[in-house]
Chain A
Amino acid sequence: MSKTILEIKNLHASVEDTKILKGLSLTINIGEKHTIMGPNGSGKSTLANVLAGNPSYTMNSGEIIFMGQNLNEMEPDIRACAGLFLAFQYPVELPGVRMWQFLKSSLDSIREYNGEKPLSTREFDNVLNEYAEKVGISSDFIKRNVNEGFSGGEKKRNEILQLSLLNPKLAILDETDSGLDIDALKVVSKGIDSFSSDENAVLLVTHYQRILDYVKPDFVHVMMDGNIVTSGDKTLALELEEKGYDWLTTK
C-alpha cells in the first residue's frame, strides 16, 4: 500500500528576494511519518509555509502535487479544505474572536467543501469537548479568544486540538515542539501519535531530536541550505544528536 499523498518535485521558493528552497524533492505516502531536521536557516519552515500557501513566500518553480491536485493553483483555505493542515510555529492571536466560533467556522467550512453537512451545535460541542479533554485543554479555554493571552504551551496544545478536530490528510507540524516543557511536549507528542493512522500522513519539522522519543518517524530527512542532503530512518536522528550537522557538510 503506497498511495501518495504529497509529491514535491524540484521545488524552488523564496522569501522576498532571497532564495531559500533550491530544488527540493520529497514524496510522502499514506500512513507515513516523516521528520525534517536541520540547522537554523536551512529552509525547514519555508517548506512548511510554501506547502500551506503562505502568501509571504513565493514558489519560483517545481511542482507540488497534493492528493492528485496541483497545490500551486490553490488558495490557502482550499488547501486546508482539501486536507492539508499546518500547525504553526508561532500561532497567531485573533483578539475578540472566540475559540468556539473560530473552530466551528473552520470545521463547517471544511465539511462543506467535502460535501458534508455542518455539525449541529450540540454535536460540535460533544466532539470539541472530547478532543479538548484529550489534549488537556479545559472547557473555559474554549470561551477565550483565539490564542489571545495563551502561554506558549497553551498555544501549541491549541494547534494539536485543531489537528485532532479537523482530521486532515496531511499534518505538517512546524517546530511544534520548540519551547515546550517536558509535560507539554508529552501532550503534544501524544496528540500527534493518536492522530497518526494508516489513513493520513505526518510531516514533522523539528530542530530537536527529543520529540522523536515520543513520535516515531518512518523517515528522517536532513535539510541544509534549501535542500534535503540525506535521508534515513530513526537511527539518522540519533546520529545527528550525537554528531551535530557539521559532518554532513563535509560528507
Chain B
Amino acid sequence: MKENNNVISRTTELESDNYKWGFDFKFNPDNAPIGLSEDIVKLISDKKNEPKWLLDWRLKSLKHWFKNQDNEPEWANIEFPKIDFQKIRYYSDPTSKSNPKSLDEVDPEMLAAFTKLGIPLEEQKKLSGVAVDAIMDSVSVATTYQKQLEDAGVIFCPISEAVHKYPELVQKYLGSVVPYSDNFYATLNSAVFTDGSFIYVPPGVRCPVELMTYFRINELDTGQFERTLIVADKGSYVSYLEGCTAPFRKNNQLHAAVVELVALEDAEIKYSTLQNWFPGDKNGEGGIYNFVTKRGKCQGKNSKISWTQVETGSAITWKYPSVILQGDNSVGEFYSVALVNNYQQADTGTKMIHIGKNTKSTIIAKGISAGKATNTYRGQVKVLPSAKNARNFTQCDSLLVGDQCGAHTIPYIEVKNPTAQLEHEATTSKVSDDQLFYTQQRGISLEDANYMIINGFCKGIFKELPFEFAIEASQLLRVSLEGTVG
C-alpha cells in the first residue's frame, strides 16, 4: 500500500475563497493523449473493452460531429472564447491499473478523496439510505449499497459495466431519448462518453434507497463526458440524485454530459441535481463549461418524470432538462434554482413536449443573479395536435442582488391543439433595502439577512429535493452568496 501522503494540494492563485471544493487530488492517472480523433475514440472503447456495436455507434457519432464541427450552437445568451476541441483530454482514469471489483479493492487514497468531498464510500460510513456511484474523471470508482439493490432487483452500476452485463437493455435504450445526432455537444458525448450511471428498475418495484452519482472532475485539461441512462419499467419508482464538484483551475474545463430517462407505463422518475462545478474566480477566470443535454421520455401511460435542479456552480451553464410527454396522462415537472455570481453565465430552462392526451406539465424556475452575472431562463412548451387537453403551468421568478447583474426570461410557446390550457407567470424582483433593514433590525447580520431572504425565494424548489439534499442545497446557496451584500 502506498503511504498516505496527504493527497490534497490547493491552488491559491485564484481568488475564490468561497468555493470549498477547489482542492485537487494527486493520483497517477492513466491518461489518453490530448486531442480528438478516431484513434482516441477507439482507445476509449478499447479501455472499456466494449462490444463492436457500441464502438460503431461512437464512430458514427464522431463522423457526424466532424461533419458539423463548425455548427456550434450560438443561440444561447452566453459568451465564451471558441473551444479548441483538440486541446482537451478525453480520457483520464485515476484508478489506473487497479480495476477494483469491490469496495475492498478500491485504493484507500481514492476513498479518502471522496470522504474529503463529503461522500464517504466505506460500508460503515456510507450515507444512510443513499446508494452512491462515485465517478472521478472518466471512471466509476465505487458503488455502495449493492446488496440491498440486488435484493430488490434494481440495477445501479457504471454504464461501462452495464454494457457488458446488460447489453440488451443498454442497446435498446441508449440514444433512444437523445439520439447521437441531437445537438453538437450530445453528438460529441456520444463519440467520447466515458462513464456514468446506468439504472434499471424492474416492473412494480419501488427503489428502496435514493440513488446518487457523485461526479468529480479532477485531472487538468480533462473534459468529463458522462452518460447516464435511467429506465423505470412499468409501475416502478426511483429517485436519483447527482452532485458535482471540480478543483480550482485557471483554464476552463468542459463538461458535456448526456442524461436519458425512460419512464414506462405508470412509472415515476424523480431526478435531482446539485450542480456545484467550479464557477471560476472573482475575475471570471477558470471554471467549468457545463454544456449538458438532459431529456426524459414519459413513454408509457400515466408515467411521470420530475427534474429538480439547483445550479450554483460552473462558469457557464447551458442545459435544458426536458420531458417528452408521449404517454397519455403523463406528467412532466421542472423545478429549478439557478444562481449566478461574479462573472458566471447561465442559460437554462426546460422543454415540455406534449404529445399524449391529458398530459400535464409544471415549470417553476427561480433565477438569482448577483455580481456581474447574467441569468437567462429559456423554456419551450410545445403542444402537438395529438395532445388533447394538455395543460401547462409555468412560473419564472427572477431575483436580482445588486445592480450590475442581469436576468432574462425567454419562453417559447407553441400550441397546435385548441383544447390546450397554458398559464405563464413571470416576475422580477430585488432583495430590497427595506427587507434587509427589517431583518437586520431584528438582530440578524446583513449577510444572514440576505441569505435568509434568498433562501425564502427558493423555498418552493428546495422542498422538492430529498430532505438531506435540501439542507445541502441551502448551505450551497449560502456559500455561493458570500460577499454579495454590504
Contacts and interface: CB of A to CB of B under 8 A. Distances in A.
Interface of A: 52-56, 75-77, 79-81, 85-86, 88, 91-97, 101-102, 105-107, 109-110, 113, 145, 162, 166
Contact of B452 (A52, A97, A110): A97
A77 B445 contact: yes
B457 interface: yes
A55 B435 CA distance: 12
Given A110-B443, A162-B442, A166-B442, A76 B452 contact: no
Contacts of A53: 440-441
A93 B432 CA distance: 10
A75 B460 CA distance: 32
Interface in B437-486: 437-446, 448-449, 452-453, 455-460
Contact of B433 (A56, A85, A145): A56
B438 A77 contact: no
SS class, residues of chain B in contact with chain A: helix
Contact of B455 (A85, A91, A97, A110): A97
B70 interface: no
A113 B443 CA distance: 9
Interface residues of B, number: 24
A105 B452 contact: yes
B437 A55 contact: yes
Contacts of A110: 443
A212 B218 CA distance: 69
B444 A77 contact: yes
B441 A97 contact: no
Contact of B440 (A80, A88, A113): A80
A97 B433 CA distance: 16
Given A54-B437, A76-B437, A94 B444 contact: no
9 contacts: A55-B437, A77-B443, A77-B444, A77-B445, A85-B441, A96-B457, A97-B455, A109-B443, A110-B443
B168 interface: no
A101 B443 CA distance: 13
B434 interface: yes
Contacts of B443: 77, 80-81, 106-107, 109-110, 113, 166
Contacts of A101: 452
Contact of B441 (A80, A93, A96): A80
B455 A109 contact: no
A91 B452 CA distance: 17
Contact of B456 (A76, A91, A97, A107): A97
Contacts of A56: 433, 437
Interface in B198-217: none
A92 B449 CA distance: 13
Given A95-B457, A96-B458, A109-B445, A76 B440 contact: yes
Nearest to B432: A92
Contact of A96 (B438, B440, B460): B460
Contacts of B459: 96-97
Most buried by A among B432, B438, B456: B438
B315 to A, nearest CB: 28
Given A77-B443, A109-B445, A94 B435 contact: yes
A79 B446 CA distance: 13
Contacts of B448: 105, 109
A77 B440 contact: yes
Given A55-B433, A95-B456, A75 B446 contact: yes
A63 to B, nearest CB: 21
A95 B437 CA distance: 15
B437 A96 contact: no
A80 B453 contact: no
A203 to B, nearest CB: 15
Given A77-B440, A109-B445, 4 more contacts: A77-B441, A77-B446, A97-B452, A113-B443
A52 B441 contact: yes
Interface in B324-374: none
Contacts of B441: 52-53, 76-77, 79-80, 85-86, 88
Given A55-B433, A88-B438, A94 B445 contact: no
Contacts of A75: 440, 445-446
Contacts of B457: 95-96
A76 B438 CA distance: 9
A228 B407 CA distance: 47
Nearest to B429: A95
A140 to B, nearest CB: 18
Nearest to A110: B443
Contacts of A97: 452-453, 455-456, 459
